[in-house]
């Protein structure tokens, strides 16, 4: 049996845990400790004091009470994909939700009830069987918990809004171990905070998510040589800013692969990719997307299921590699900004890296600014400079490339940032992300629901916070 007693633990806390906790408990001496503690970003090799693998809401409550009674810090893991590795801390109790992945669908009401440890793919698999989907991120092994609580950009965001806009209720274990359900009629202020405030206010054990109808989508992708990149981005800007809400068009600078439609002279070199997905009547798709690809060096268009679209990005960002990400919002994509993006693409240190950018707005910006904790709904563009590599000797070079990629776009920074992409920031960055009013409202909620800052292993808003500090 796992040795629970930690230096700061107590026999009473241990006995209470053993009585109440049903799931597996994994400690440093257990053979599966290294496998179970691993998170997606291989940069974070941290050693929790104990891993409590919760199987239900009662387990989550028992885990929090144990950590408190034994005076230990906690972290919470959903899908383990946070690039900053907030799910793991040395010496803290890891409250692991990864065994809680059940999804049930209410097709009449168009709702999904998803446990707090679900991956996006779990939700997609359950919803698409009914021709429904909850708008979410673009890689299906990402966790629903962290993504939804921080916001949730994805293919359907311009048409339907963010993932957090689709949380209509949540079962939450609060820091003291008590359980509440937050919806528009009860604990509405908590629901407001869960829609964008991250994991600060409680542990969500069940999300109730509004679903939207989805069918086949028209998918069109094309490649451009870097030398033609600035002109292609001028076209992208015009196209994306005028696109219908049924269309979502993204760009990436990355090394070209050897797909049939990629010209031989571009393969194995950094290139510009644009990808446009049409969610309206599939018959209208080609006419919608073709104008963007008139000057592409190569392109491919086809009809695919929503489930296939959601899994397209899965292989490009595997577990265990080393990742460093910097991100920013841009006010506009001028020719100067386009030149900087192309120059960063040319300077990529690792061939696995990418710079991803997209024009946002649409339904994201239609939700009133004060309606949720999610900030910067007005942001026109988001850019993410993601380094990916495997050799620890390359850590500095890759992180420096990622940082420089965002810094060189400084003249066009909107300010703020997407909380789910923060990594290695200066103090005060979380306050900057939310802005004064929203940050203070979240700090008020923190004082109400987690006055001792038990849930601090996140992009933290301490109960003592003031945006003026
Ligand atoms: C490959 C990849 C692709 C991505 N694609 C997108 C994308 O398309 N769109 C987008 O918006 N973001 C995307 N992201 C960013 C993503 O939103 C964040 O990394 C997010 O934190 C992942 O959530 P997680 O549950 O997997 O993370 P974890 O590391 O498990 O958790 C991160 C934090 O979330 C909190 N948390 C997690 N679950 C719960 C819960 N149930 N209750 C309370 N708190 C919880 C905890 O505070 C934890 O510290 C992507 C990330 C990766 C690595």
Distance of CA 301 from the midpoint of ligand 1 (Å): 31
Burial tier of 396 (Cβ tally within 10 Å: 0-12, 13-18, 19+) = exposed
CA 53 to centroid of ligand 1, rounded, Å: 18
The residue from 385, 403, 421 where one domain ends is 421
Buried b (16+ CB within 10 A) or exposed e, 288-314: bbeebbeebbbbbbeebebbebbbbee
Ligand 1 atom at minimal distance to the Cα of residue 137: 8
352 within some domain: yes
Say how many Å lie between the CA of residue 206 and the centre of ligand 1: 15
pLDDT band, very low/low/confident/very high, at 1 (cuts 50, 70, 90): very low
Q: How far apart are the CA of 34 and the centre of ligand 1, in A?
A: 21
Reduced to 3 states (helix: H, G, I; strand: E, B; else coil), residue 457 is coil
- Minimal-distance CA residue to ligand 1 atom 34: 146
Cα-to-centroid distance, 151 and ligand 1 (Å): 9
Q: What is the CATH number of the domain that holds 225?
A: 3.40.462.20
Asked whether residue 190 falls in the same domain as residue 209, the answer is yes
- Dist. CA 281 → ligand 1 center (Å): 32
Q: Do 223 and 358 sit in the same domain of this protein? A: yes
Residue 11 reports pLDDT greater than 90: no
Does 23 map to a domain?
A: yes
- Give yes or no: residues 130 and 61 share one domain: no
Determine which of 11-25, 176-190, 238-252 has the lowest per-residue pLDDT on average: 11-25
Residue 182: CB atoms within 10 A of its CB come to: 24
User: pLDDT (tens digit, 9 = 90+) per residue, 396-414?
Assistant: 999 999 999 999 999 999 9
CA of 151, closest atom in ligand 1 = 11
Judgement on whether residues 265 and 188 belong to the same structural domain of the protein: no
Q: Is residue 378 part of a domain?
A: yes
366 and 352, same domain (yes or no): yes
Q: 164, 190, 213: which is the final residue of a domain?
A: 213
Task: Establish how many alpha carbons lie within 13 A of residue 329's alpha carbon, considering only the half-sphere containing its beta carbon.
Answer: 18
End position of a domain, from candidates 175, 192, 213 = 213
pLDDT at res. 158 = 98
Same domain for 266 and 410? yes
Say if residue 133 is in the same domain as residue 251: no
Q: How wide is the angle at C-alpha 183 spanned by C-alphas 420 and 63, nearest 5°?
A: 65
* C-alpha 254 to ligand 1 mean position (Å): 23
Report the run of H or E that residue 25 belongs to, with start and end.
strand 25-26
* Residue 468, pLDDT score: 56
What range defines the domain where residue 88 resides? Answer: 11-96
User: Is 53 among the domain residues?
Assistant: yes
**Residue 122 confidence (pLDDT):** 98
Task: Give one DSSP letter per residue of 306-374, joined into a string.
Answer: HHHHHHTTTTTS-TTSEEEEEEEEES---HHHHHHHHHHHHT-SSTT-EEEEEE--THHHHS-GGGSS-
- Rounding to the nearest 10 degrees, give the CA dihedral for residues 29, 35, 38, 40: 180
What span, in angstroms and rounded, lies between the C-alpha atoms of 207 and 113? 6
Domain membership flag for residue 462: no
Q: What does residue 40 show for φ and ψ, rounded to 5 degrees?
A: -60, -45
Could you identify the atom of ligand 1 that is nearest to the CA of residue 119? 26
Rounded distance from Cα 146 to ligand 1 centre (Å): 3
Note whether 76 and 93 are within 8 A (CB). Answer: no
Based on the domain organization, do 202 and 221 belong to the same domain?
no
Tens digit of pLDDT for each residue in 51-109?
A: 999 999 999 999 999 999 999 999 999 999 999 999 999 999 999 999 999 999 999 99
Average confidence (pLDDT) over 319-342: 98
Out of 116, 146, 310, mutate this one to test ligand 1's pocket (max ligand atoms within 8 Å of CB): namely: 146
Ligand 1 geometric centre to CA of 199 (Å): 10
Residues 154, 286 share a domain: no
pLDDT at 8 over 70: no
Beta strands, E only, 187-238:
203-210, 212-213, 217-225
Half-sphere exposure of 369 (CA within 13 A, CB side): 9
- Report the CATH number that the domain containing residue 147 is assigned in CATH: 3.30.465.10
Which residue ranges have their beta carbon within 6 Å of ligand 1?
39-40, 75-83, 86-87, 97, 116, 137-139, 142-143, 145-147, 149-154, 198-199, 203-204, 317, 420, 457-458
Identify which of 79, 81, 316, 324 to mutate to test ligand 1's pocket (most ligand atoms within 8 A of the CB): 81
Q: Tell which residue, 198, 254, 258, has the closest CA to residue 419.
A: 198
Is the model's pLDDT at 14 over the cut of 80?
yes
> Tens of pLDDT along 130-146?
999 999 999 999 999 99
Work out the pLDDT band at 12, boundaries 50, 70, 90: confident
pLDDT tens string 203-225: 999 999 999 999 999 999 999 99
Domain count, the chain: 3
State which of 79, 80, 82 you would mutate to test the pocket of ligand 1, scoring each by most atoms of that ligand within 8 A of its C-beta. Answer: 82
């Amino acid at each position: 049996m796992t040795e629970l007693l930690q230096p700061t633990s107590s026999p009473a806390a241990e006995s209470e845990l053993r009585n109440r906790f049903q799931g597996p408990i994994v400690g440093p001496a257990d053979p599966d400790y290294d496998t179970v503690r691993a998170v997606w970003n291989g940069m974070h090799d941290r050693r929790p004091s104990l891993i409590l693998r919760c199987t239900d809401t009662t387990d989550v409550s028992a885990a929090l009470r144990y950590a408190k009674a034994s005076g230990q810090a906690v972290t919470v893991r959903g899908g383990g994909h946070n690039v900053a590795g907030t799910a793991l801390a040395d010496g803290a109790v890891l409250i692991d939700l990864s065994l809680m992945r059940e999804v049930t669908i209410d097709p009449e009401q168009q709702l999904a009830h998803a446990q707090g440890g679900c991956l996006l793919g779990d939700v997609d698999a359950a919803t698409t069987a009914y021709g429904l989907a909850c708008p979410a991120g673009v890689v299906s092994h990402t966790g629903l918990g962290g993504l939804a609580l921080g916001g949730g950009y994805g293919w359907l965001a311009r048409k339907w809004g963010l993932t957090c806009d689709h949380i209509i209720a949540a079962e939450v274990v609060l820091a003291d171990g008590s359980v509440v359900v937050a919806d528009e009629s009860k604990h509405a202020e908590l629901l407001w905070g869960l829609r964008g405030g991250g994991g600060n206010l409680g542990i969500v054990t069940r999300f109730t998510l509004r679903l939207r109808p989805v069918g086949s989508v028209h998918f069109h992708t094309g490649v451009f040589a870097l030398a033609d990149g600035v002109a292609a981005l001028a076209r992208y800007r015009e196209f994306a800013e005028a696109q219908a809400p049924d269309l979502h068009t993204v760009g990436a600078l990355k090394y070209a692969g050897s797909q049939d439609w990629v010209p031989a002279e571009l393969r194995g070199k950094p290139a510009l990719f644009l990808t446009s997905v049409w969610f309206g009547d599939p018959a209208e798709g080609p006419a919608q997307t073709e104008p963007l690809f008139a000057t592409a060096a190569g392109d491919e268009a086809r009809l695919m299921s929503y489930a296939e679209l959601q899994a397209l990005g899965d292989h490009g960002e595997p577990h265990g590699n080393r990742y460093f990400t910097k991100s920013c919002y841009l006010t506009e994509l001028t020719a100067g900004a386009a030149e900087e993006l192309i120059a960063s693409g040319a300077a990529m240190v690792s061939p696995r890296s990418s710079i991803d950018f997209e024009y946002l707005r649409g339904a994201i910006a239609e939700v009133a600014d004060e309606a949720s904790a999610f900030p910067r709904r007005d942001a026109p563009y988001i850019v993410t400079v993601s380094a990916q590599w495997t050799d620890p000797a390359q850590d500095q070079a890759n992180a420096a490339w990622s940082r420089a990629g965002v810094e060189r776009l400084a003249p066009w920074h909107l300010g703020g940032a997407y909380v789910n992409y923060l990594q290695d920031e200066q103090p005060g960055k979380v306050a900057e992300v939310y802005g004064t009013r929203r940050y203070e409202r979240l700090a008020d909620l923190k004082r109400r629901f987690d006055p001792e800052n038990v849930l601090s292993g996140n992009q933290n808003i301490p109960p003592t916070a003031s945006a003026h500090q």
